[in-house]
Chains A and B, each alone.
Chain A
Amino acid sequence: MPGNRLESSNMVLRAAQELFPGAVVALGMGLPCHLPFELPASGGVWFIADSGALGYTGQDNDGVSVDAGGSLVAMLPGGSFTGVVDVAGILRGGHTDVAILEPSQVSTKGDFVHWTTEKTAGLFAPGSAVDMAYGSSTVVAVMPHQGPGGRSNIVEKCTLPVDGAGRLDLIITDVAVIKVVASGLELIETAPGWAAEDVISITDAPLSVSSGLKELTVDIPAIVPPNKVYPSAVDALLDVPEGSVINVDGFAGPGGMAHYLMVGLRDLGVKNLQLISNTAGVARVSAFGSPNIIDHSILVENNQVVKATASYPVSPSASRPSAFEEAYNRGETDLEVVPQGTLAERLRSGGAGVAAFYTPTGVGTLLGDNKETRTIDGKDYVLETGLRADYCIIRGHKADTLGNVVYKGTSRNFNPVMATTAKVTVVEVDEIVEPGQLGPEEIITPGLFVDRIVVRPSDFSAYLDI
């Protein structure tokens, strides 16, 4: 006779062993929703729900915030709210480290059925499980090993329509932990008192037994949030490799540009950069703001730029070309011209896991040349692809130490969308505050998008000495 089965609270706690400092953790309906109720309130990971709650705990409730299952929760200091379309982008766009789901059935191949049962077989209940499964780095199933009548929930091939094909990485049940590997399912842990044979005997799918098979525990290490605050621009950009693609706001005028980080990039001297930006540095020739404002030109003049993707790459004055134009005319740089809205949409797509989209902008013009066109409901569209970057440098007004950012006035422009597109997002702000000092409804860029924060020194000038 094997040992007891795990209670559902312990099944869920085992899933917490898959978390790590700063992890973005999406929780689906059912058992996964219990995790923030079982763990102490801590800002070490970002629990996110498809209701739009980012960074919450179940240890309290504020009367107005709900999780994926509709239960009341409370925001942690530094938590924020967003809408469902942006949650989908967080799930699908590669921003989620771990997704935890409760499927009703899973297969040898890692397929899963989410919440559909024989009683609702003609219907599916995907909720957000599909987006969670297709966008997260690791997908964990938490579910009872057997259903009603002792039938195995783990099968060779799902008997109900699947919500995710081959998407699962790990299955945690009330008697075992099973890894989905290329060759099938591998038993890696068993509940106390359960031998491998006991688990195999109640599983309707082949299980290989790991040579490192061990007893399932629910010990949870304390998780503290990673430090994101860097002492200087140069420190925050030290690892930028040659040839990187870098997003920088670059809207004309002084507002939204990360001047301090740009100077850091210039001081580091890293070469062959490809900039994605609204302009390619025209402020100094078109007198937006001031003729000596810092912009892309400092990187171009330092021979660091090999390509710009921009919507306003040239100066409005033919007699006063920008540094980028001069370099382009000398054959030193490449240029990709993208209309502003298309640039914004391509960045948004890159950040939200949309590979490509049909936009009406530019159809029948040079900007649509050599691109696929398609007529949808009688209207012509051109196909554009998502854009991503290696680094992104953002200009915010204030950030908290978890990386939540607010902007001031029109300096917002490209910054929030760009913050979603890069492998490493670095933000420059006037002031860093403690989590909780920015209101959860006020935060524009949630901290889960931000990796590094620097304060723009109070004596820093955005103007060159000329």
Chain B
Amino acid sequence: MISVPDNPSTNGKLYPSGKDALEGISIGDTVLVAGFARCGIPQKLLQALSEIEVSELTLICQGAWVQESTDFTIADLVATGKIKKIISPMPFHPVYGGLVKKAWESGNLELEIVPQGVLAERLRAGGAGIGGVFLPSGAGTRFAEDKEKRLYDGREHVLEFALKADYALLRAEVADTLGNMVYQATSRNWNPTMAMAAGVTVAEVDTVHEPGGIDPELVITQAIFIDRLVLSD
């Protein structure tokens, strides 16, 4: 593990603070936020985002449906009023509601609901240079309304287009200074896919090694996808 350098320009991708690592984020940007339930959430970056003068952001994320979390979450960010829209498979818990539901009900937040696998596939397409994909998911439901459909093997498939974003906020337990990353358990979730699908990718990591400190067979997100790193504490 290495310490945070005083001057980030001398150490490549490692930035001294969350705010520094988010430099350039602008009004109206689309931001990918990794995390599933309480796992793999870039909390420090979310908190930094809440302190930056920016607004009208669109977030693409799993949602804010975990109730007991005391950490800084998507819901806390929504409460700051900087978020115009969330694209998510389950933006809030359908039974317990919460801050996101309140913002939506008061008309201050727009929601676009996309089934989880469709959202993941659209981001993967964006990251892999694919323009669109024909998926069976959601045929015959309102998720397929006003979309092009075709039959393959006798089953209806729906055309879904690729999705990309301006920034991605990621979280990994371990990285090297080049940006190679490994995740612990279910912290992996959206991280590897989102790492491919944004103009600027910023990862919050617990530990940073020198290059060579991570077994090449174990790397899940390759350094070429990562632009900026910041330590989680």
Q: Cβ of B166 < 8 Å from any Cβ of A?
A: no
Q: Cβ of B134 < 8 Å from any Cβ of A?
A: yes
The distance in angstroms between the C-alpha atoms of A165 and B139, with both chains bound, is 7
B36 proximity list for chain A (CB < 8 A): 50-52, 66, 70, 84
Give which listed residue, A29, A75, A161, A359, contacts B141 with CB less than 8 A.
A161
The distance in angstroms between the C-alpha atoms of A357 and B114, with both chains bound, is 19
Query: Quick check: B104 and A123 within 8 Å, CB to CB?
Result: yes
A353 proximity list for chain B (CB < 8 A): 135-136
Q: Cβ of B18 < 8 Å from any Cβ of A?
A: no
Residue of B nearest to A63 (CB): B185
A88 proximity list for chain B (CB < 8 A): 116-118, 120-121
Q: Cβ of A241 < 8 Å from any Cβ of B?
A: no
Query: Quick check: A83 and B143 within 8 Å, CB to CB?
Result: no
Q: Cβ of B186 < 8 Å from any Cβ of A?
A: yes
A101 to chain B, nearest CB (A): 13
B114 to chain A, nearest CB (A): 8
Q: A70 and B217 in contact (CB under 8 A), knowing A117-B94, A441-B182?
A: no
The distance in angstroms between the C-alpha atoms of A439 and B146, with both chains bound, is 45
Query: Quick check: A126 and B89 within 8 Å, CB to CB?
Result: yes
The distance in angstroms between the C-alpha atoms of A359 and B162, with both chains bound, is 11
A374 to chain B, nearest CB (A): 7
Which B24-74 residues have C-beta < 8 A from chain A?
36-39, 62, 65-66
The segment from B3-11, B124-132, B200-208, B225-233 found at the interface with A is B124-132
Query: Quick check: B129 and A130 within 8 Å, CB to CB?
Result: no
Query: Quick check: A81 and B185 within 8 Å, CB to CB?
Result: yes
B188 to chain A, nearest CB (A): 5
Q: A66 and B38 in contact (CB under 8 A), knowing A84-B189, A162-B141, A345-B128?
A: yes
B38 proximity list for chain A (CB < 8 A): 66, 70
Which A329-357 residues have C-beta < 8 A from chain B?
345, 349, 352-357
Give which listed residue, A120, A128, A356, A359, contacts B117 with CB less than 8 A.
A128
B152 to chain A, nearest CB (A): 4
Q: Cβ of A360 < 8 Å from any Cβ of B?
A: yes
B150 proximity list for chain A (CB < 8 A): 355-356
B232 to chain A, nearest CB (A): 15
Q: Cβ of B137 < 8 Å from any Cβ of A?
A: yes
Query: Quick check: B184 and A354 within 8 Å, CB to CB?
Result: no
Q: Cβ of A224 < 8 Å from any Cβ of B?
A: no
Q: Cβ of B79 < 8 Å from any Cβ of A?
A: no
B111 proximity list for chain A (CB < 8 A): 123
Q: A92 and B137 in contact (CB under 8 A), knowing A127-B89, A127-B115, A357-B125?
A: yes
A84 proximity list for chain B (CB < 8 A): 36, 62, 116-117, 120, 189-190, 193
Residue of B nearest to A90 (CB): B117
Which B138-181 residues have C-beta < 8 A from chain A?
138-143, 150, 152-153, 155, 157, 161-162
B15 proximity list for chain A (CB < 8 A): none
B103 proximity list for chain A (CB < 8 A): none
Residue of B nearest to A73 (CB): B186
Give which listed residue, B66, B131, B141, B191, contacts A381 with CB less than 8 A.
B131
Mark contacts of B60-97 with chain A using CB atoms, 8 A cut-off: 1 yes-contact digit, 0 otherwise: 00100110000000000000000000000111001100
Q: Cβ of A389 < 8 Å from any Cβ of B?
A: no
Q: Cβ of A62 < 8 Å from any Cβ of B?
A: yes
Q: Cβ of A135 < 8 Å from any Cβ of B?
A: yes
The distance in angstroms between the C-alpha atoms of A300 and B186, with both chains bound, is 45
Query: Quick check: A82 and B94 within 8 Å, CB to CB?
Result: no
B205 to chain A, nearest CB (A): 15
A359 proximity list for chain B (CB < 8 A): 129-131
B108 to chain A, nearest CB (A): 15
B131 proximity list for chain A (CB < 8 A): 357-360, 374, 376-377, 379, 381
Query: Quick check: A355 and B128 within 8 Å, CB to CB?
Result: no
Residue of B nearest to A120 (CB): B94
Give B contacts to A, CB under 8 Å. Answer: 36-39, 62, 65-66, 89-91, 94-95, 101, 104, 111, 113-118, 120-121, 123-125, 128-143, 150, 152-153, 155, 157, 161-162, 182-193, 217-218, 220
Known A70-B65, A115-B90, A120-B101; further 17 A-B contacts with Cβ < 8 A: A49-B186, A50-B116, A64-B187, A66-B39, A70-B37, A84-B62, A84-B116, A84-B120, A91-B117, A124-B113, A125-B94, A130-B143, A162-B141, A357-B134, A358-B130, A385-B152, A441-B218
**Top 9 A-B residue pairs of the complex, sorted by shortest distance between their CB atoms:** A165-B140, A70-B37, A88-B117, A131-B117, A130-B115, A355-B152, A358-B131, A64-B185, A376-B131
